[in-house]
Amino acid sequence: MQLASIISIILINGILQGNILEHKGSPFYVKNGNHIVFVKRIFGALLLGGCLIINKHGIDPPAVYRISQYAELLIGATLLISTYLVLNYSIKRHTDIAQKFPLLKYSEWQPAHHLTNILTQSAYLAVYELATRACLINTLNSTAGLSSAIIIAALINVVSHYPKGKFECLGSLPFSLIQSFLWIAFGSIIPLIVFHIVFNLAFEYNSIILNLKKRVP
């Protein structure tokens, strides 16, 4: 019952965070509303918080192995370099953030909009990592074993990203596997939260800058 509830919450959140309000072809499309995405993130964080409430297995990863501080620095540096390369490549091919979220009028944003964007994004991703990594994998691990738990959790993440489109759906699989490995290796959820926030904001703002240069609202 606990596992089914956690999976259901994650999948429902995936539908909520999809593009049904932003996509012009959707019957639920909202023409104007800078704050819709911000509200969705807050609601999503509250919804995923339900996983923390019903979770009975804690948020610490299984003590399978831990890496040294030198390895942590090496992995951190590798992630930063890899993130830059991935962003540089992806943004050149997918400069469609403004088209993807047409209700977000980036060109009209004031500092308060950017602050709200960063805060809601950070809050949502923090709870997201706790729910999809700590709660889900620990619960799956109690019945299926760690390796199976990581793979199943990654597949659930793929399904939950389906409403956001093929690009995010496919990208969520390797990202989920990497995040799960780091969670176990670092022995903490905090590095995952920080990395996910930095990755998302870097991709978003680089895409926004390119779109604004093209005069896309």
Lowest-confidence region among 26-30, 85-89, 108-112 = 26-30
For Cα atoms 132, 149, 90, give the angle at the middle one, nearest 5 degrees. Answer: 55
What DSSP string runs through 56-100? -S-SSPP-S----HHHHHHHHHHHHHHHHHHHHHHHHH---HHHH
Higher pLDDT, residue 55 or 80 = 55
CA 205 to chain centroid, in Å, comes to 15
Computed over every residue of the chain, the mean pLDDT equals 78
Give residue 44's pLDDT: 92
Contact present, 204 and 114 (Cβ < 8 Å):
no
Give residue 68's pLDDT: 60
Question: What is the distance between the terminal CA atoms of the chain, rounded to a whole angstrom?
Answer: 46
Query: Which has the closest alpha carbon to 188: 17, 15, 16, 69?
Result: 69
Cα dihedral sign, 130-133-136-139: negative
